[in-house]
Amino acid sequence: MNNYPEDPLSAHQIRPRFQIDIDSGIKEIEDKIKDALQEEDATCLGRVDHGFVRLMLPYEDQHYWSPQLSLNLLENGDKTHIRGLYGPSPSVWTMFIFFYALIGLAILVILIFGTSYISLDQSGAILWLIPVLVLIFASLYLVSFFGQRLGHDQIVILHNFLEKTLEIKFEDKAID
């Protein structure tokens, strides 16, 4: 059984996720979120569009590591299944994926060249770059983890906004 954690970051994931079933229809959930976003004292900005919701903080409160909450609303019989994903803005996430892929590709190329040199009885010294690239990869992971920590308070704001809007406590709801 998966419960939504009391602390959205307790799983130590780069992009924490949750799933929950709610006894309301998609349209009703969308309307509740739209109404909450239009309130004068709303703590979040967002967009609601046919089964998809994106929540973020007001622009003046955002920084580079500010999270967004993406929700997918799916019909599940007489309930609505909500899949939530906390993550950085798409441009930040894309940049990290690009660097991860670039480092992975560089490791592959160096590994191919290094083993080719060794099979030709030449120096395979180029292989010493692999541990350096692995350290850079690990550093990027740590930077993203600490960036997420900088956005922790904002994740809690998004989480509380959603709980208040849907009038539920995630700890009370569980799915198998």
Q: How far apart are CA 18 and CA 132, in angstroms?
A: 35
- Structure confidence at residue 11 (pLDDT): 46
CATH, residue 52: 3.30.310.80
Q: How far apart are CA 148 and CA 145, in angstroms?
A: 5
Nearest to 100 by CA among 129, 128, 66, 134: 134
What's the Cα-to-Cα distance from 59 to each of 17, 67, 106, 112, 133, rounded to whole Å?
A: 23, 12, 37, 46, 36
8 Å CB contact between 61 and 41: no
Per-residue pLDDT of the chain (176 residues; tens, 9 = 90+): 344 444 544 546 667 888 889 988 899 999 999 999 999 888 999 999 989 999 999 999 999 889 999 999 999 888 899 999 998 888 888 999 999 999 999 999 999 999 999 999 999 999 999 999 999 999 998 998 888 888 888 998 999 999 999 988 776 544 33
Statement to judge: residues 102 and 161 lie in one domain: no
Statement to judge: residues 35 and 82 lie in one domain: yes
- Residue 176 is assigned to a structural domain of this protein: no
Token digits of residue 59: 């622009």
Statement to judge: residues 30 and 81 lie in one domain: yes
- Structure confidence at residue 1 (pLDDT): 34
8 Å CB contact between 68 and 93: no
Statement to judge: residues 84 and 13 lie in one domain: yes
Domain span at 63 = 2-88+156-171
Statement to judge: residues 71 and 101 lie in one domain: no
Statement to judge: residues 123 and 163 lie in one domain: no
8 Å CB contact between 8 and 159: yes
Q: Which amino acid is at 28?
A: E
- Structure confidence at residue 53 (pLDDT): 96
Statement to judge: residues 83 and 103 lie in one domain: no
Number of domain units in the chain: 2
Statement to judge: residues 53 and 105 lie in one domain: no
Which stretches of the chain are DSSP H helices? 26-38, 90-119, 129-150, 152-166
Token digits of residue 69: 């909450």
Statement to judge: residues 33 and 59 lie in one domain: yes
The label of the residue with tokens 């799983």 reads 11
Helix, strand, coil percentages, rounded to 5, for the chain: 50, 25, 25
The label of the residue with tokens 């799915």 reads 175
The label of the residue with tokens 């955002």 reads 62
Statement to judge: residues 16 and 101 lie in one domain: no
Q: What is the pTM of this model?
A: 0.77
Token digits of residue 130: 């692999």
- Residue 44 is assigned to a structural domain of this protein: yes
Statement to judge: residues 80 and 97 lie in one domain: no
